[in-house]
Amino acid sequence: MSTVIQDVKRHAKSGDLGALPVLIGLVLIWTVFTLLNHRFISPDNLSNLALQMAPVGTMSLGIVLVLLLGEIDLSAGSVSGLCGAILAVVHVRHGLHPLIGIAAALAAAGVIGGLQGTIIERLRIPSFVVTLSGLIGWQGLQLWTLGKQGTINLSFTGSIAKLSGTYLHPLLGFALAVVIPLGVAFVAITDQRRRTGRGLPVPTQSAIFAKPLIIGVVTVGLALLLNASQGVPLTLVIFTLLVIAVDWVLIRTRFGRHVYATGGGIEAARRAGVNVSRIRTYVFIASSMLAAAGGILAVSRLAAVNQSTGGSDTLLNAIAAAVIGGTSLFGGRGRAYSALLGSLVIVSIANGMFLLSLDSSVRFMITGAVLLSAVVVDSFTRRGQTVRR
Amino acid sequence: MTLLSLTEVSKSYGGVQALNGVSLDIGSAEVVALVGDNGAGKSTLIKVISGVHERDGGSITLDGQPVTIRSPKDAQRLGIATVFQDLALCDNLSVVANLYLGSELCSGPSLDELEMEYRTVELVRSLGMKVPDVRALVGALSGGQRQSVAIARALLGKPRVVILDEPTAALGVEQTELVLDLVMRLREQGLGVLLISHNMSDVLRVADCICVLRLGQNAGTFVAADTSRETLVATITGANLPTARGAK
């Protein structure tokens, strides 16, 4: 345990607190809500939380990517609504297979992201302005797509709605909860073996096992609680897999390395031969496609698309989640899992307030305060990193 | 043995003649210092050698063979590496990631982090660099360490000539020491080093040969061991040139 504390101290010194602030925040939020209403951590409510988290979390994953570049994508909410509408029109109005609907929605998002990215790169217009136009424009296209009716209902027993209505068999859910920390431990151990083989410094045994142990306690506990309700929701699994996949791309691939480099020092990256324009365009495409995926999950949960899908506070929640999770607004710093932790904070607050039957006025103010404190932590972290130069 | 040789190199920007028939030789295992006042043409000269700008006239030879340097890529291919003053490092990446940025080693689809780290440790050791942890973020390093990282990065392409633009300009005494040690280490490894500096004591300490530029022309070349600080300053400012004073 002492090595873990040392590790935290070392990170804090170098100005990188990682997931620590958001984890502390989560524990606080959960404790307060549980004390105020014990139903907050009831299995049924946790199941709800998991379902609410997937759509905003998936969108937030795309926001994390653009934030890593030091850019912003304000069109994510509208794109999620538009793509939800496209899915509904293709699947319900034209009666095509739901997979075709999903493919059409994702393809449309890819085109939108490519268009926005190209305009930002070729014409050198700030992403803020381009995606702000997108925010308005794509919402218009969404209304046009939905037509005069304005609302399209999906069958509650259809395959799209089933996406959100499917829960894993208790044994399978439990198995997954065990496999994830084992996987983390496996990666850590093979890494240590290979490091020893090359004579590189290795972390201590306790540091290697602390992380999978903590993750394991959380996942197994969560699986047991969710199994007491209806089981682990499929959408939670999909979202978690997406987070793991995006994190792998960011940390383990050349593309991911170039995303960090472009966000942290665009001139250095350009001089090192990184095609920064291409990297940035790809990230805007990925952001739009993840927004669309979030939209699809949202449509699946509500089994309907209307004119306000993807509107209201959808976008702001996704951005807030990314920042609360620890991704810097200044670019170059953050991890994919900040989308997971941040969206958990956002939906926990919304859900907890709802349980306390508080007005949404209070919810907005509290979410705002949490976001502000996350940004303050971010700016302090940034200062800590550069102070010694 | 002369490695890189410039003869009568000229460059003008519009009506301004930035370089006017400048000649310079750099041998292997030799540190050549390039000094001169602001506007003397030092920056233009290194930009010509590193391929940022193309020369208007004169010739450049490498190992006695004439070469054309039209782009930074050409220079890189010929084994000429340049460390510019602004370093161009990513503060949010580790030392290893910065060293290999743009030329990452991969195994399959994923980065071969281990191999890169291993080679970085080797390089750091062979250069006697004082970087405590190659996995530390570059943003958390001191000025001298950052300069060392930038130089190490230039060495990865196995260059034969390294051009250092004001490597000690913004550094304290201890940090300067660190970088000068590294410069001498480069010479020991047989590289030709072109060192641009404003600091006469640094130049006299590490350089074998000192080339003075003044108003875009050669103002004199000195063997460092036989030269005094006063002579250099006089040549840089033109104080001892009777033509400079008596011209008007």
Q: Which residue of A has its CA nearest to B107?
A: A253
User: Cβ B101–A388 below 8 Å, yes or no?
Assistant: no
Q: Which residue of A has its CA nearest to B150?
A: A268
Lowest mean pLDDT among A2-6, A21-25, B95-99, B240-244: B240-244
Q: Which two tokens stand for residue A100?
A: 């075709």
Helix (H, G, I), strand (E, B) or coil at B16: strand
What's residue B158's pLDDT? 87
Q: Which two tokens stand for residue B171?
A: 């550094």
> What amino acid is encoded at B51 in this protein?
G
Closest CA to A327 of A249, A241, A262, A263: A263
What's residue B131's pLDDT? 80
Q: Does B111 touch chain A (CB under 8 A)?
A: yes
State how far the alpha carbon of A210 is from the alpha carbons of A145, A160, A183, A200, A257, in Å. Answer: 51, 39, 14, 21, 26
What's residue A163's pLDDT? 85
Q: Does B16 touch chain A (CB under 8 A)?
A: no
Distance from CA of B90 to the nearest CA of A (A): 5
The Cα B11–Cα B188 span in angstroms is: 33
Distance from CA of B175 to the nearest CA of A (A): 12
Q: Return the biggest CA–CA distance within chain B.
A: 70
Would the pLDDT of B129 be above 60?
yes
Closest CA to A25 of A331, A325, A334, A387: A325
Mean pLDDT of all residues in B174-181: 86
Would the pLDDT of B1 be above 60?
yes
Mean pLDDT of all residues in B239-245: 52
What's residue A384's pLDDT? 64
Yes or no: say if A361 and A342 are a contact pair by the CB < 8 Å rule.
no
User: Cβ B140–A385 below 8 Å, yes or no?
Assistant: yes
Report CA dihedral (A204, A206, A208, A210) to the nearest 10 degrees. Answer: -150
- Closest CB from A200, A257, A273 relative to B111: A257
For residue B93, the chain A residues in CB contact (below 8 A) are 257, 260-261, 264-265
Sign of CA dihedral B40, B44, B50, B54: negative
Looking only at the bridges linking them, the beta strands covering B65-66 and B57-62 are antiparallel
B75 burial level (CB within 10 Å; 0-12, 13-18, 19+): buried
Looking only at the bridges linking them, the beta strands covering B192-196 and B30-36 are parallel
Q: Which two tokens stand for residue A70?
A: 């030091």
For residue A198, the chain B residues in CB contact (below 8 A) are 114, 118
What's residue B222's pLDDT? 87
Which residues are CB-neighbours of B139 under 8 A, at least 6 positions away? A15, A385, A386, A389, B91, B92
The stretches of chain A forming alpha helices (DSSP H) are 2-13, 20-36, 43-68, 76-88, 98-122, 127-146, 159-165, 170-197, 205-228, 234-252, 254-264, 266-271, 276-302, 314-324, 337-355, 360-386
- The number of C-alpha atoms within 13 Å of B228 and in the hemisphere containing its C-beta is 3
Q: Does B88 touch chain A (CB under 8 A)?
A: yes
Residue with tokens 């997406």: A242
Q: Which two tokens stand for residue A189?
A: 């151990």
Q: What is the pLDDT of residues B46-85, one digit of tens each?
A: 888 988 888 888 889 998 889 888 888 888 888 998 888 8
- Closest CB from B87, B92, B146 relative to A260: B92
- Closest CB from B89, B98, B139 relative to A385: B139
Closest CA to B6 of B68, B59, B48: B59
Yes or no: say if A338 and A64 are a contact pair by the CB < 8 Å rule.
yes
Helix (H, G, I), strand (E, B) or coil at A96: coil
Q: Does A332 touch chain B (CB under 8 A)?
A: yes
The enclosing H or E element of B1 equals none
Q: Which residue of A has its CA nearest to B113?
A: A252
What's residue A159's pLDDT? 81
Q: Which residue of A has its CA nearest to B133?
A: A201
Q: Which residue of B has its CA nearest to A12?
A: B140
Instruction: Indicate the pTM of the whole model.
Output: 0.87
Q: Which two tokens stand for residue B219?
A: 């103002």
Q: What is the mean pLDDT of each run of 10 residues along chain A (389 residues)?
A: 56 61 88 91 90 94 96 94 93 87 95 96 92 93 88 82 87 92 91 86 81 90 90 92 95 95 91 90 97 94 85 88 90 92 92 87 84 82 57
Residues 288-307 of A with CB under 8 A from B: none
Helix (H, G, I), strand (E, B) or coil at A37: coil
Distance from CA of B237 to the nearest CA of A (A): 33
Closest CA to A84 of A350, A298, A240: A298
User: Cβ A252–B103 below 8 Å, yes or no?
Assistant: no
Q: Which residue of B has its CA nearest to A387?
A: B140
Q: Which two tokens stand for residue A158?
A: 């259809």
Distance from CA of B163 to the nearest CA of A (A): 16
Closest CA to A54 of A235, A180, A209, A286: A235
Mean pLDDT of all residues in B213-220: 86
- Closest CB from A252, A263, A269 relative to B111: A252
What's residue B176's pLDDT? 87
